[in-house]
Amino acid sequence: MPPGHFGVPLRADGNRLQAESVMDIRNIAIIAHVDHGKTTLVDRILHTTKVFRDNQETGELIMDSNDLERERGITIFSKNAAVTYKDVKINVIDTPGHADFGGEVERVLKMADGVILLVDAFEGPMPQTRFVLQKALQLNLKPIVVINKVDKPNCRPDEVHDAVFELFFNLDASEEQLNFPTYYGSGKNGWFNDSLTPVEDITPLMDGILKYVPEPKVTEGTLQMQITSLDYSSFLGRIAVGKVTRGSIKENQPIALMQADGTVKKQRVKELYVFEGMGKRKVTEVMAGDLCAVVGLEGFNIGDTISDQENMEALPVISVDEPTMNMLFSINNSPFYGKDGKFVTSRHLRDRLMKETEKNLALRVFDTDSGDSFQVYGRGILHLGVLIETMRREGYELTVGQPQVIVKHIDGKRHEPYENLVVDVPQEFASKVIDLVTRRKGEMLVMETKGEMQHLEFEIPSRGLIGLRTQMLTATTGEAVMNHRFTEYKGWKGSIPGRNNGVLISKNTEKTTGYSIDKLQDRGTFFVDPGEDIYAGQIVAENIKPGDLVVNVTEGKKLTNHRASGSDDATRIAPKTLMTLEECMEYIQHDECIEVTPNFIRMRKIYLDENERNRFQKMLKADVEA
């Protein structure tokens, strides 16, 4: 069984089913920007507290157990581990660093009493750092600042410390929160200390957690526990995870499940688990202040309160920031429908999306006029892209449309979401970045020099970010580091230029040939290789000019009895351009969509037939003129 599976007997002593003592617990969340070393720090904590045997193979990124997380090198789902240090149980909550997964962060912070804010010693606080820290400070959590990667060249720990203090001040931190302890070190090299002097391990930081993170605040009274996370076991079904804030919860106890809409369901707890190491162990009772997993409840959602049946009191519902982007998810209706995936019907698609909304708080799914399509609302392209990629790996076939921002009408005027965009780029490329962003209605707020890099901050409509990353990486030869976070809704900025060039569209449904692609190479950059199955209406290349062109890429070479000198030279074909799912989502226009199957990602026109496409364009033009 994998680590963390329910029912794994992680302790075999006689006290196995005893309740936890409230005084010996610390609940701490680790928050940081993407790639600042958060998961590596969690690895160090797990190794320092001897969660694993000395001879046990663990590898790295232990908490990032999901395949997608390991491939992308980011944390997507928040996870829990529990370690024991100096007879104190420390519940460690690893949180995502990307603002698109803010829904995950906002709910799991409810389980913590303190936070470790991890900051890169060169980059300093980034937009997502600000986003998550703001949530933590609003919940009045006690912060510990850890400045990581002090072994890197160009690092500037003292400046970063000042920048963190300034960030706390700007976020209206209390006097106590402003007086935060700071630790320096290198997660990669395995040391953290309260000064810049290297030590052998991370024990100074572990001592700091015991010293500065308060014990859980417990109020007297009957049971109260908010469900802040979900787990699933094929043996036990859906499992509610949360922190007991008052009283205690016992095995076999009758409870009241109080839901956000005011309904109350009377149920009974079947089994209780607490976190231990990377897994869980079964207990008979959990006291206030500890995190636990409750088995046996039905029909619960994140944010519901588990309360005593005699004294029913609900906790405030978890509020999550609204989605800012939406996409149309439809069944796959291409000629290659059903060839690749296991789940292809609209019922499969609907059930899977509804199941996702149960645990993905920032996601919304709505039915449309068509029974085959669903409107899906999310936090951003990465948030929706991870959902599509997960479904693809599970065997689903679907078609997704162009991402659209959510427009609101406030006081009779059109408003759209705006983002704070931060770009760090070598100085010679700064002018190109400024030009790209301002063309997309961005306004520059900050321009300062950090070593050899130029630090730029902009305010830009969310629409302007769609497709910007690809253009920026091309313009800066891959040197730009770009981050953004949602700030607020403001007035509509007018039209933003989209993709400049048109596309080449396949005329036939057949296999591509090297002969045809070779003859068309001067017309565009191809997304397909010779010998690939394609269909009429599929996008096979980017045109070098504006406007779309229908081409035949399936024609074979005519064989004759005569051979002319030089005519049989091997065709020299450039390899196809590989595009990730997110790049495709940013690339397509309003009349295009993406076919997603377990083994293929194809871009195509919504109307595959050329005559239908022309009719649609004429109707659209007439609507615009009207």
- Give which of 314, 380, 417, 394 is closest to 67, Cα–Cα: 394
Q: Annotation-wise, does 432 bind a ligand?
A: no
CB 86 within 8 A of CB 70: no
Q: What are the residue ranges of helices labelled H in 151-220? A: 157-170, 175-178, 203-212
Amino acid at 592: E
> Does residue 585 sit in helix, strand or coil?
helix
Q: Annotation-wise, does 187 bind a ligand?
A: no
**Helix-strand-coil percent breakdown of the chain, rounded to 5?**
25, 30, 45
Q: Annotation-wise, does 149 bind a ligand?
A: yes
Phi, psi angle pair for 43, to nearest 5°: -55, -45
Distance separating alpha carbons of residues 413 and 459, to the nearest angstrom? 20
Q: Annotation-wise, does 35 bind a ligand?
A: yes
Distance separating alpha carbons of residues 251 and 425, to the nearest angstrom? 56
Residues 6+ apart with CB under 8 A from 264: 256, 257, 258, 312
Exposed / middle / buried, residue 346 (Cβ in 10 Å: 0-12, 13-18, 19+): middle
Q: Annotation-wise, does 40 bind a ligand?
A: yes
Q: Annotation-wise, does 91 bind a ligand?
A: no
Sort residue 172 into left (φ over 0), alpha (ψ -120 to 50) or beta.
Answer: left
Q: Annotation-wise, does 38 bind a ligand?
A: yes
Q: Annotation-wise, does 148 bind a ligand?
A: yes
Instruction: Cite the beta strand spans of 406-538 per DSSP E.
Output: 408-410, 413-426, 443-450, 453-461, 481-491, 503-506, 510-511, 524-526, 533-534
Q: Annotation-wise, does 305 bind a ligand?
A: no
Question: How many Cα neighbours within 13 Å face the side chain of 316?
Answer: 6
How many CB atoms neighbour CB 115 within 10 A? Answer: 27
Exposed / middle / buried, residue 96 (Cβ in 10 Å: 0-12, 13-18, 19+): buried
CB 80 within 8 A of CB 275: yes
Amino acid at 142: K
Q: Annotation-wise, does 395 bind a ligand?
A: no
CB 127 within 8 A of CB 483: yes
Residue ranges of the binding site for GTP: 35-40, 148-151
Residue ranges of the binding site: 35-40, 148-151
